[in-house]
Chain A
Amino acid sequence: MELAKDISGCGIAGFINTDGSLVSGIDIVDSITLMKDRGNGLGAGFAAYGIYPDFKDFYALHIMYDDEHARKITEEYLDRKLHIEQHGGMPTRPIKKKRPIFFVYFVEPREQSTKAESEEFRKEEEDEFMVKLVMHINEKIDGAFVISSGKNMGVFKGVGYPDEIANFFRVDEYKACCWTAHNRFPTNTPGWWGGAHPFSLLYWTVVHNGEISSYGANKRYLEMYGYKCTQKTDTEVVAYLLDLISRKHGLSFDMVGKIFSPPLWEEIEKMPKEEKELYTALRMTYGGALLNGPFSIIVGYQGGMFGLNDRIKLRPLVAAKKGATVFMASEESAIRYIAKDLDEIWMPKAGEPVVVNLTEEGYRKIYG
C-alpha cells in the first residue's frame, strides 16, 4: 500500500511566447534561480515545449533509470510495444554527486500482429495507449521512471538547486517557446530525482507550490479511472486530473479551473439559473477532483500554459505580459529580473485560471 504523501513549499516560474518563437533556457534558469530562498536544494526542474522540432511527430520519452538493469528491462518492454525512431542518452554535464541515468526515446505506437494487442494499439487511441504504457513502467518496472512523455516537449528534473539541475541537463542548449520551472523546498521527502517537479504525463506538465490537502481524496478518485499515483508526491495528481478532465472528458481549461478551485456554494446560489445548474453539476460530478489546501500551479500543455491558485489564495502567483510573452511566477521579482518594462502585471484572483494559448500561427510553428 503506497499511500505516502510528500509535502513541500516551493517557487515556480514560467513563460510562453504566444507567437511560437523559441528561446533558450537561460532566462527561465535566471528567473527561478532568483527565488533561491524558495528551495532547499532538494529538487528542481524545468519543462520545455518545442525542443524537438525534428521529432515533433514522435512521443519523446524522457526516462530515468537507477541502473543498467532497469534500462534493459524497460527497453525490452518498449521494443515490444513501440516503434523507436531514435534513442540515446540525454546530454548531461558531468557532476560529482550520485545520480540516475537518463535516456530519451522518440517513439510511436505501432500496429501489432496479435489481435489481443492490436485493440489497444488503435491509432486513434494513441494518447490513451501512451498513458497506459507510462503507468505500467512507473508502477511495474523497478528503478525506471518516465519523467515526460509528450510530443516535442520534455522535462528535466532532479535533486539539486535549479542552477545545478539546469547545468547538469544543459538546459541552456535547448530552445523552447514555453518554459516552466520549479524550485523545491520539501519538508519531508526521499531525496529522489523522480520526486522533483515538473510532473508530467503526455503533454501535461505541472509545477506546483503548495500542499494538496485533498491528496488522499484526489488519489482515490484517479485510481478509479486507472491512474496510479506512484511518484510519492501530491503534485502528480494535478497532471493526472488534467489528463482525465481535459483530454478525456474534453472540458475547457476554464472549466478545469472551476473544478480544481470551485466557486463557493453561496456564490453558486446567487448565479443565474443556467450557470447555477452548470456549477452545481461540476461540483457534484467532480468533487473528487477539487484541489483543496494552499496551492499555486503553472500547467504547461500542447499549445499553451495556464496558472491557477487555490480557492482562497493561500499561495502567491503573479502574472505579467510583455509583447507576445506572458509570464507567471511565485514572485514579481522573478519576472522583472528577466523582462524589463512589462506591459502589464497583475495578481490573479483566487480560483481564477489564467489561460494563455499559442496563436494559431505559433501553434503551427511548433506542432504543425
Chain B
Amino acid sequence: MKWMKNLKTYTPPAFTVIRDNDRCIRCKACVEQCSFDATFYDEEEDKVWNWDSNCVSCNRCAAICPTEAITIEKRDYSYRRNYSWESHIDGLKKRAIFGGTPVVSMGNDKPYKIYWDHMLLNASQVTNPSIDPLREPMELKTFLGKKPHSISVENVSLKTKLSPQLELDVPIMFAAMSYGALSYNVVEALGRAAKEMGTFYNSGEGGLNKDHYKFKGNIIVQVASGRFGVHKPYLDVGSAIEIKIGQGAKPGIGGHLPGEKVTETISETRMMPQGSDAISPAPHHDVYSIEDLRQLIYALKEATEYTKPIIVKIAAVHNVAAIASGITRAGADIICIDGFKGGTGASPQVIRDNVGLPIELALAVVDERLRSEGIRQDISIIASGGIRNSMDVVKAIALGADAVYIGTAALLAIGCTMCQQCHTGRCAWGITTQDPHLSKRVNPDIASERLINLLKVWSLEIKETMGAMGINSIESLRGNRLNLRGIDLSDRELEILGILPAGE
C-alpha cells in the first residue's frame, strides 16, 4: 500500500495541499507533474488526493493547475511549542529512525544576519552630478587575473607582458554547478546565456559533456578533489581553470552526487561507474599544504602552457584572510571566496547550517588583508555564496570584489522555487534531475532567455546605482567602501567591514 501512513516514521507534514473540489476538473496534470508522490488520483472516487507529508512545496502542481484549484500552505507547527527544542525534534527523530545524517540542498536557510541588508549605498547631490546610464556611457567591463603593479610603455607600445585574463562584459558569472547536479538542458541554457552576455559558466566538478564544448570561450572548468571528468581536452576548453578546495555550503567536506543522478551520460562525462555515488574526497589528496597547492596550480599552468588564469575557490572560514594571502603567494590568478549562504546540490545539514562565514565579512577581510600586504594587484577576487540581487553585487564590488558568481539566483531565474530537494534528483521543475521525464521540463530556449534577461536587468540596475553615485566605470566602485554605510551594526562589525556607520 503505497499511500499508507506509517506510524513508525511519522513526522508532521510541513505543508498542506488544499484543493478546491469545485474548481478541480480531474485533468490529473498535477498527478503527472508531482515528482515527489505527494499527489494521486483515486479512480473509484474520481478524486485527486494529496499525501501532505510527501509535499515539498515546490509549487509545481499549483503552477500547472489550469483552474487554480490548488493552494499550498505552510502548516502550523503542531507539537506543543518549545522554543528550545521545536526546530530540532524532527531532525533528531529522522536520525533515530533512519540511522543517517540528513542531507539537504541549497544554501543555509537559518536566520543568520545578512550583512548586505545592513549596508546602504551613496548617491550624488549637487556637488557632483549623478549620471544617467541611458544617456551616458557606463562601463561594467571587468578583467579577472593577475595585474602587474606597473607597466612600461615605449611610444605607444606596451613593453610589459600581461598575465592571461578573463574578460567579462558584466561582473557576474554563473557559479560552479556540475552537469550531474544540473540537468543537461540547464547546462545548455547557462552556457548560451554566458556566451550571449559575455560572461562565464563554471562547469563545476563533474566534467563537461562533449556537446557543451561548443561554449568554449565562455566556460570555466573546475578541478575538484574527485577529479571527475578531468582530462586534457577538458582543460583546454576552459577559459580559466578553477581548483575547488571548498564550497561555502559545506566547508571542509567533499562533493556528493547521489547515485540516483549518475546516469549513463553522467557516468561517461565523469568517467565513473553508472549508478554509484560520486563522492569527491574532503581534501585533494595531493594538496595537504599551501606548497602542495602551489604545485597543483603550476601543474595546471604547465598543462595549459600558461595561457589560462587559475582560480582557487575556497569556502569562507574563520582564517580566510590568511588563507587568501597564501593562495595569492602560491601563484593563483583569481581567488573565489564562497560564503556560508552559498548553495549546494547536496550537503549534510549540520555542516551547511553551522560551518563557515558570511561572504560579506570574509570578502571585507580578504580584500583588506591583500591590500595591506600590497598584493591585491596580484589576484582578482570573486565573491559568491548568497548574492541575491543586483544591489548585493554592487555592495560586494564596493567591499572589494572584482566580480561575483551566482548559482541559486540563476536557478531561480530558470524556474527553481527553492524547495531544497536537489539532492533527491526528483526536481519537479527539471533543473536538478537526471530523470529524462523531468529534465525535459526545462526548455533551453526559454531558460537561456530568462538568464539573459536577468543579467541584463541586473546590469542596468547596477549602472543606475553607479550613475547615482556619479561613477561611470566599475573600477571606481571596486573597493570604494566610502560608498557604503552600515546600519544597525556594532562598532566591531563596522570595523571588520571597513565602513562608516550611516550618518557619519
Contacts and interface: CB of A to CB of B under 8 A. Distances in A.
Our verdict on whether A and B bind, yes or no, reads yes
A101 interface: no
Q: Which 5 A-B pairs have the closest CB atoms?
A: A287-B475, A216-B482, A214-B476, A292-B476, A216-B480
Interface in A228-286: 245, 248-252, 255, 262, 264-266, 274-275, 277-278, 281-285
Contact of B153 (A5, A216, A255, A294): A255
Contacts of B500: 1, 3
B222 interface: no
A278 B479 contact: no
Given A7-B128, A281-B158, A249 B137 contact: no
Contacts of A5: 482
A214 B477 CA distance: 7
B128 A213 contact: yes
Nearest to A249: B150
A248 B471 contact: no
B470 A292 contact: yes
A19 interface: no
B87 to A, nearest CB: 39
B470 A294 contact: yes
Greatest chain A CB density within 10 A among B126, B158, B495 is at B158
A9 B158 contact: no
A311 B137 CA distance: 10
Contacts of A217: 475-480
A161 interface: no
Interface of A: 1, 3, 5, 7-9, 187, 210-211, 213-217, 219-221, 223-225, 245, 248-252, 255, 262, 264-266, 274-275, 277-278, 281-285, 287-288, 290, 292-294, 311-312, 314
A213 B127 contact: no
Nearest to A211: B128
21 contacts: A1-B495, A3-B482, A5-B482, A187-B126, A213-B476, A215-B480, A217-B480, A252-B153, A255-B153, A264-B139, A265-B141, A278-B157, A285-B150, A287-B475, A290-B473, A290-B476, A292-B470, A292-B473, A294-B129, A312-B137, A312-B472
Interface residues of B, number: 47
B95 interface: no
B151 interface: yes
Nearest to A219: B482
B137 A264 contact: yes
A314 B129 contact: yes
A293 B481 contact: no
A128 B475 CA distance: 28
B116 to A, nearest CB: 18
B91 interface: no
Interface string B355-399: 000000000000000011010110000000000000000000010
B504 to A, nearest CB: 8
A214 B480 contact: yes
Given A3-B481, A277-B158, A284-B147, A292 B127 contact: no
Greatest chain B CB density within 10 A among A3, A225, A292 is at A292
Contacts of B128: 7, 210-211, 213, 293-294
Judged by DSSP, the binding face of B is loop
B153 A278 contact: yes
Contact of A216 (B150, B152, B160, B479): B479
Nearest to B138: A264
Contacts of A225: 374
B105 interface: no
B124 interface: yes
Given A8-B127, A220-B481, A266-B137, A285 B475 contact: no
Contacts of B476: 213-214, 217, 287, 290, 292-293
Contacts of A292: 470-473, 476
Nearest to B397: A217
Given A220-B480, A275-B156, A281-B162, 4 more contacts: A3-B482, A224-B371, A281-B160, A284-B143
Interface in B276-304: none
A293 B131 CA distance: 9
A312 B131 CA distance: 10
Contact of A282 (B151, B157, B480): B151
Contact of B162 (A220, A262, A284, A312): A284
Contacts of B475: 214, 217, 283, 287-288, 290
A312 B132 CA distance: 12
A288 B162 CA distance: 17
B81 to A, nearest CB: 45
A7 B127 contact: yes
A265 to B, nearest CB: 5
B481 A216 contact: yes
Contacts of B398: 216
A284 B165 contact: yes
A170 to B, nearest CB: 33
B469 interface: yes
B483 interface: yes
Nearest to B499: A3
A221 B479 contact: yes
B273 interface: no
A213 B468 CA distance: 11
A281 B481 contact: no
Contact of A214 (B141, B153, B471): B471
B148 interface: yes
Given A213-B124, A264-B139, A274 B479 contact: no
Contacts of A293: 124, 128, 470-471, 476
Nearest to B147: A285
Given A264-B137, A264-B139, A311 B127 contact: no
Given A274-B156, A278-B153, A223 B371 contact: yes
Contacts of B156: 274-275, 278
Contacts of B124: 211, 213, 293
Contacts of B374: 224-225
A312 B138 CA distance: 11
B396 to A, nearest CB: 14
A221 B480 CA distance: 10
Interface in B137-177: 137, 139, 141, 143, 147-153, 156-158, 160, 162, 165
B333 to A, nearest CB: 13
Contacts of A255: 153
A185 to B, nearest CB: 9
B136 interface: yes
Nearest to A277: B158
Interface in B462-503: 469-473, 475-483, 495, 498, 500
A77 B157 CA distance: 45
B403 to A, nearest CB: 13
